[in-house]
Chains A and B, each alone.
Chain A
Protein backbone atom coordinates (compact mmCIF):
# COMPACT_ATOMS: atom_id res chain seq x y z
CA UNK A 1 0.00 0.00 0.00
CA UNK A 2 2.73 2.41 1.04
CA UNK A 3 4.84 1.45 -1.93
CA UNK A 4 1.96 2.07 -4.30
CA UNK A 5 1.40 5.56 -2.89
CA UNK A 6 5.06 6.48 -3.25
CA UNK A 7 5.05 5.33 -6.80
CA UNK A 8 1.99 7.47 -7.54
CA UNK A 9 3.55 10.64 -6.15
CA UNK A 10 6.71 10.12 -8.12
CA UNK A 11 4.64 9.80 -11.26
CA UNK A 12 2.93 13.17 -10.78
CA UNK A 13 3.70 15.26 -13.80
CA UNK A 14 4.45 18.86 -12.90
CA UNK A 15 5.14 19.83 -16.51
CA UNK A 16 3.25 22.44 -18.51
CA UNK A 17 -0.30 21.37 -19.29
CA UNK A 18 -1.58 22.76 -22.55
CA UNK A 19 -5.23 21.69 -22.28
CA UNK A 20 -6.20 23.70 -19.14
CA UNK A 21 -4.31 26.67 -20.55
CA UNK A 22 -6.37 26.53 -23.74
CA UNK A 23 -9.50 26.38 -21.58
CA UNK A 24 -8.53 29.47 -19.63
CA UNK A 25 -7.43 31.42 -22.69
CA UNK A 26 -10.69 30.51 -24.39
CA UNK A 27 -12.77 31.75 -21.47
CA UNK A 28 -10.82 35.03 -21.25
CA UNK A 29 -11.19 35.49 -24.98
CA UNK A 30 -14.94 34.93 -24.83
CA UNK A 31 -15.16 37.49 -22.03
CA UNK A 32 -13.38 40.14 -24.09
CA UNK A 33 -15.40 39.25 -27.20
CA UNK A 34 -18.67 39.83 -25.34
CA UNK A 35 -17.31 43.03 -23.79
CA UNK A 36 -16.18 44.33 -27.19
CA UNK A 37 -19.75 44.23 -28.48
CA UNK A 38 -21.14 46.22 -25.57
CA UNK A 39 -18.35 48.77 -25.28
CA UNK A 40 -19.51 52.38 -25.07
CA UNK A 41 -17.30 54.97 -26.72
CA UNK A 42 -17.29 58.73 -26.48
CA UNK A 43 -18.60 60.85 -29.35
CA UNK A 44 -18.43 64.62 -29.62
CA UNK A 45 -20.39 67.38 -31.34
CA UNK A 46 -17.88 70.11 -32.12
CA UNK A 47 -18.89 73.70 -32.49
CA UNK A 48 -17.38 77.17 -32.51
CA UNK A 49 -18.61 79.98 -30.34
CA UNK A 50 -20.32 82.71 -32.35
CA UNK A 51 -18.34 85.82 -33.03
CA UNK A 52 -14.97 84.13 -32.90
CA UNK A 53 -14.63 83.21 -36.57
CA UNK A 54 -13.53 86.12 -38.76
CA UNK A 55 -16.23 86.84 -41.34
CA UNK A 56 -15.44 87.15 -45.02
CA UNK A 57 -16.59 90.34 -46.69
CA UNK A 58 -18.94 88.77 -49.20
CA UNK A 59 -20.53 86.24 -46.89
CA UNK A 60 -24.12 85.69 -48.05
CA UNK A 61 -26.78 85.98 -45.39
CA UNK A 62 -27.79 82.45 -44.49
CA UNK A 63 -31.37 81.30 -44.15
CA UNK A 64 -32.10 81.22 -40.48
CA UNK A 65 -34.06 78.41 -38.94
CA UNK A 66 -35.20 78.30 -35.34
CA UNK A 67 -35.55 75.07 -33.43
CA UNK A 68 -37.27 75.42 -30.09
CA UNK A 69 -37.17 72.80 -27.38
CA UNK A 70 -39.91 72.92 -24.76
CA UNK A 71 -39.64 71.69 -21.18
CA UNK A 72 -41.49 68.46 -22.01
CA UNK A 73 -39.13 67.72 -24.90
CA UNK A 74 -41.49 68.84 -27.67
CA UNK A 75 -39.45 70.22 -30.55
CA UNK A 76 -40.68 73.07 -32.76
CA UNK A 77 -39.18 73.85 -36.14
CA UNK A 78 -39.98 77.49 -36.94
CA UNK A 79 -42.95 77.33 -34.52
CA UNK A 80 -44.32 74.15 -36.13
CA UNK A 81 -44.37 71.18 -33.75
CA UNK A 82 -42.41 68.23 -35.10
CA UNK A 83 -42.29 64.72 -33.68
CA UNK A 84 -43.70 63.70 -30.35
CA UNK A 85 -42.20 64.87 -27.05
CA UNK A 86 -39.38 62.84 -25.51
CA UNK A 87 -38.89 59.99 -25.00
CA UNK A 88 -41.31 58.87 -27.75
CA UNK A 89 -39.36 60.14 -30.76
CA UNK A 90 -35.80 60.08 -29.57
CA UNK A 91 -34.32 60.09 -33.05
CA UNK A 92 -36.55 62.98 -34.21
CA UNK A 93 -37.31 61.48 -37.65
CA UNK A 94 -39.67 64.24 -38.78
CA UNK A 95 -37.25 67.01 -37.80
CA UNK A 96 -34.36 65.22 -39.50
CA UNK A 97 -36.41 64.77 -42.68
CA UNK A 98 -37.33 68.48 -42.76
CA UNK A 99 -33.73 69.47 -42.10
CA UNK A 100 -32.44 67.23 -44.90
CA UNK A 101 -34.93 68.91 -47.28
CA UNK A 102 -33.83 72.35 -46.10
CA UNK A 103 -30.20 71.39 -46.53
CA UNK A 104 -30.83 70.12 -50.07
CA UNK A 105 -32.71 73.31 -50.98
CA UNK A 106 -29.92 75.50 -49.61
CA UNK A 107 -27.27 73.48 -51.49
CA UNK A 108 -29.30 73.93 -54.71
CA UNK A 109 -29.67 77.67 -54.03
CA UNK A 110 -25.98 77.95 -53.11
CA UNK A 111 -26.77 79.43 -49.72
CA UNK A 112 -26.19 78.22 -46.21
CA UNK A 113 -28.61 77.10 -43.55
CA UNK A 114 -28.10 78.51 -40.10
CA UNK A 115 -29.90 76.94 -37.21
CA UNK A 116 -30.49 78.55 -33.86
CA UNK A 117 -31.48 76.32 -30.97
CA UNK A 118 -33.74 77.93 -28.43
CA UNK A 119 -33.80 75.54 -25.51
CA UNK A 120 -36.14 76.32 -22.65
CA UNK A 121 -34.48 76.55 -19.27
CA UNK A 122 -35.95 73.30 -18.04
CA UNK A 123 -35.61 71.36 -21.28
CA UNK A 124 -33.42 68.33 -20.78
CA UNK A 125 -29.87 68.44 -22.10
CA UNK A 126 -30.47 65.01 -23.64
CA UNK A 127 -33.08 66.56 -25.94
CA UNK A 128 -30.59 69.23 -27.04
CA UNK A 129 -28.16 66.46 -27.95
CA UNK A 130 -30.99 64.67 -29.83
CA UNK A 131 -31.50 67.84 -31.89
CA UNK A 132 -27.74 68.15 -32.49
CA UNK A 133 -27.74 64.51 -33.58
CA UNK A 134 -30.54 65.20 -36.08
CA UNK A 135 -28.59 68.24 -37.36
CA UNK A 136 -25.46 66.12 -37.80
CA UNK A 137 -27.46 63.54 -39.75
CA UNK A 138 -28.80 66.24 -42.06
CA UNK A 139 -25.25 67.64 -42.47
CA UNK A 140 -26.06 71.10 -41.14
CA UNK A 141 -23.02 72.60 -39.48
CA UNK A 142 -24.02 76.18 -38.66
CA UNK A 143 -25.59 75.93 -35.24
CA UNK A 144 -25.93 78.60 -32.60
CA UNK A 145 -27.55 78.56 -29.19
CA UNK A 146 -29.88 80.96 -27.52
CA UNK A 147 -30.72 80.95 -23.85
CA UNK A 148 -34.35 82.03 -23.88
CA UNK A 149 -37.13 81.01 -26.20
CA UNK A 150 -38.35 83.65 -28.65
CA UNK A 151 -41.60 85.40 -27.87
Chain B
Protein backbone atom coordinates (compact mmCIF):
# COMPACT_ATOMS: atom_id res chain seq x y z
CA UNK B 1 0.00 0.00 0.00
CA UNK B 2 2.59 2.51 1.13
CA UNK B 3 5.09 1.31 -1.44
CA UNK B 4 3.06 2.94 -4.20
CA UNK B 5 4.08 6.34 -2.99
CA UNK B 6 7.69 5.41 -2.50
CA UNK B 7 7.30 4.57 1.21
CA UNK B 8 7.82 1.45 3.25
CA UNK B 9 5.34 -0.49 5.30
CA UNK B 10 6.12 1.71 8.30
CA UNK B 11 5.22 4.81 6.30
CA UNK B 12 8.81 6.06 6.05
CA UNK B 13 9.60 7.61 2.64
CA UNK B 14 12.13 5.60 0.64
CA UNK B 15 14.74 6.77 -1.83
CA UNK B 16 13.85 5.56 -5.34
CA UNK B 17 16.85 5.03 -7.56
CA UNK B 18 15.07 4.47 -10.91
CA UNK B 19 13.41 7.93 -11.26
CA UNK B 20 16.66 9.52 -10.13
CA UNK B 21 18.53 7.74 -12.94
CA UNK B 22 15.86 8.97 -15.38
CA UNK B 23 16.28 12.56 -14.29
CA UNK B 24 20.07 12.32 -14.31
CA UNK B 25 20.10 10.91 -17.83
CA UNK B 26 17.82 13.65 -19.13
CA UNK B 27 20.04 16.32 -17.55
CA UNK B 28 23.13 14.63 -18.95
CA UNK B 29 21.72 14.56 -22.49
CA UNK B 30 20.66 18.20 -22.15
CA UNK B 31 24.13 19.39 -21.15
CA UNK B 32 25.78 17.19 -23.79
CA UNK B 33 23.59 18.74 -26.48
CA UNK B 34 24.16 22.37 -25.54
CA UNK B 35 27.91 21.98 -25.22
CA UNK B 36 28.54 20.05 -28.43
CA UNK B 37 26.17 22.10 -30.61
CA UNK B 38 27.60 25.45 -29.65
CA UNK B 39 31.26 24.70 -29.36
CA UNK B 40 33.35 26.94 -31.53
CA UNK B 41 34.47 25.32 -34.76
CA UNK B 42 37.23 27.69 -35.71
CA UNK B 43 40.82 27.31 -36.86
CA UNK B 44 42.74 26.58 -33.66
CA UNK B 45 45.64 28.86 -34.61
CA UNK B 46 43.33 31.87 -34.67
CA UNK B 47 42.44 33.68 -31.47
CA UNK B 48 39.27 35.56 -32.25
CA UNK B 49 38.72 39.00 -30.75
CA UNK B 50 35.97 39.17 -28.14
CA UNK B 51 32.73 40.98 -28.82
CA UNK B 52 29.87 40.26 -26.49
CA UNK B 53 27.39 42.62 -28.16
CA UNK B 54 27.60 41.12 -31.64
CA UNK B 55 24.80 38.89 -32.87
CA UNK B 56 25.22 35.17 -32.28
CA UNK B 57 26.26 33.40 -35.44
CA UNK B 58 23.27 31.74 -37.10
CA UNK B 59 24.16 28.11 -37.87
CA UNK B 60 21.63 28.15 -40.73
CA UNK B 61 23.78 30.74 -42.49
CA UNK B 62 26.77 28.38 -42.62
CA UNK B 63 25.64 27.01 -46.00
CA UNK B 64 25.53 30.51 -47.45
CA UNK B 65 28.90 31.54 -46.15
CA UNK B 66 32.46 31.43 -47.31
CA UNK B 67 34.77 31.50 -44.32
CA UNK B 68 38.01 33.40 -44.77
CA UNK B 69 40.48 32.66 -42.01
CA UNK B 70 43.30 35.14 -41.53
CA UNK B 71 46.08 33.86 -39.31
CA UNK B 72 48.81 36.04 -37.91
CA UNK B 73 52.37 34.90 -37.44
CA UNK B 74 53.74 37.41 -34.93
CA UNK B 75 57.34 36.22 -35.25
CA UNK B 76 57.47 36.62 -39.00
CA UNK B 77 54.98 39.53 -38.96
CA UNK B 78 53.13 37.82 -41.75
CA UNK B 79 49.48 37.04 -42.32
CA UNK B 80 48.28 33.75 -43.81
CA UNK B 81 45.01 33.58 -45.69
CA UNK B 82 42.84 30.48 -45.83
CA UNK B 83 39.56 30.15 -47.66
CA UNK B 84 37.77 27.00 -46.52
CA UNK B 85 41.04 25.24 -45.60
CA UNK B 86 42.71 26.22 -48.88
CA UNK B 87 45.76 28.35 -48.20
CA UNK B 88 46.67 31.30 -50.37
CA UNK B 89 50.17 32.75 -50.24
CA UNK B 90 49.23 35.78 -52.27
CA UNK B 91 45.95 37.34 -51.17
CA UNK B 92 45.09 38.44 -54.73
CA UNK B 93 44.78 34.78 -55.73
CA UNK B 94 41.73 34.50 -53.50
CA UNK B 95 39.67 36.61 -55.91
CA UNK B 96 39.26 33.91 -58.58
CA UNK B 97 38.53 31.27 -55.96
CA UNK B 98 35.89 33.45 -54.30
CA UNK B 99 34.30 34.18 -57.68
CA UNK B 100 34.16 30.46 -58.50
CA UNK B 101 32.56 29.76 -55.10
CA UNK B 102 29.93 32.37 -55.83
CA UNK B 103 29.25 30.93 -59.27
CA UNK B 104 28.82 27.46 -57.76
CA UNK B 105 25.73 28.66 -55.99
CA UNK B 106 23.88 30.97 -58.35
CA UNK B 107 20.88 32.72 -56.88
CA UNK B 108 22.07 32.61 -53.29
CA UNK B 109 23.50 35.70 -51.72
CA UNK B 110 26.78 34.34 -50.40
CA UNK B 111 28.26 36.02 -47.37
CA UNK B 112 31.96 36.32 -46.69
CA UNK B 113 32.78 35.56 -43.08
CA UNK B 114 36.10 37.01 -41.96
CA UNK B 115 37.70 35.18 -39.06
CA UNK B 116 40.75 37.22 -38.22
CA UNK B 117 43.23 36.80 -35.42
CA UNK B 118 42.98 39.54 -32.79
CA UNK B 119 46.65 40.47 -33.25
CA UNK B 120 46.24 41.21 -36.96
CA UNK B 121 47.06 44.70 -38.16
CA UNK B 122 43.98 46.46 -39.52
CA UNK B 123 45.69 46.79 -42.93
CA UNK B 124 45.46 43.03 -43.48
CA UNK B 125 41.73 43.06 -42.81
CA UNK B 126 41.40 46.01 -45.16
CA UNK B 127 43.20 43.94 -47.81
CA UNK B 128 40.78 41.04 -47.31
CA UNK B 129 37.78 43.37 -47.54
CA UNK B 130 39.18 44.78 -50.73
CA UNK B 131 39.49 41.29 -52.20
CA UNK B 132 35.96 40.37 -51.11
CA UNK B 133 34.71 43.49 -52.84
CA UNK B 134 36.64 42.62 -56.00
CA UNK B 135 35.08 39.15 -55.99
CA UNK B 136 31.65 40.78 -56.01
CA UNK B 137 30.46 39.85 -52.53
CA UNK B 138 28.11 42.33 -50.93
CA UNK B 139 27.68 40.83 -47.47
CA UNK B 140 30.54 40.72 -45.03
CA UNK B 141 30.51 39.38 -41.49
CA UNK B 142 33.28 39.84 -38.96
CA UNK B 143 33.62 36.92 -36.63
CA UNK B 144 34.26 37.35 -32.92
CA UNK B 145 34.05 35.17 -29.84
CA UNK B 146 31.26 35.65 -27.32
CA UNK B 147 33.66 35.72 -24.40
CA UNK B 148 37.24 35.21 -23.40
CA UNK B 149 38.42 31.62 -23.58
CA UNK B 150 38.64 30.07 -20.11
CA UNK B 151 42.02 28.65 -19.25
Contact = CB atoms under 8 A, between A and B. Distances in A.
Interface stretch (A56-64, A77-85, A100-108, A115-123): A115-123
Contacts of B17: 18-19, 22
Contact of B132 (A49, A120, A123, A129): A49
A45 B51 contact: yes
Given A40-B149, A43-B56, A49 B24 contact: no
A42 B146 CA distance: 6
B28 A121 contact: no
A9 interface: no
B122 A121 contact: yes
A49 B25 CA distance: 48
A109 interface: no
B24 to A, nearest CB: 5
B141 A46 contact: yes
A42 B142 contact: no
Nearest to B27: A29
A126 B148 CA distance: 12
Given A22-B17, A48-B140, A129-B144, A147 B57 contact: no
Contacts, number: 163
Nearest to A45: B142
Contacts of A120: 122
Contact of A119 (B111, B126, B146): B126
A126 B144 CA distance: 9
A109 to B, nearest CB: 25
A47 interface: yes
A130 B117 CA distance: 13
B39 to A, nearest CB: 6
A94 interface: no
Given A32-B31, A33-B31, A133-B51, A48 B144 contact: no
Contact of A147 (B39, B123, B149): B123
A139 to B, nearest CB: 10
Contacts of B20: 22
B21 A21 contact: yes
A18 B21 contact: yes
Interface in A30-57: 32-33, 35-36, 38-49, 52-53
A25 B55 CA distance: 35
Max chain B CB contacts within 10 Å: which of A45, A48, A130? A45
Interface of A: 18-19, 21-22, 25-26, 28-29, 32-33, 35-36, 38-49, 52-53, 69, 119-130, 132-133, 136-137, 145, 147
Given A38-B150, A129-B142, 5 more contacts: A18-B17, A22-B24, A40-B40, A43-B51, A43-B55
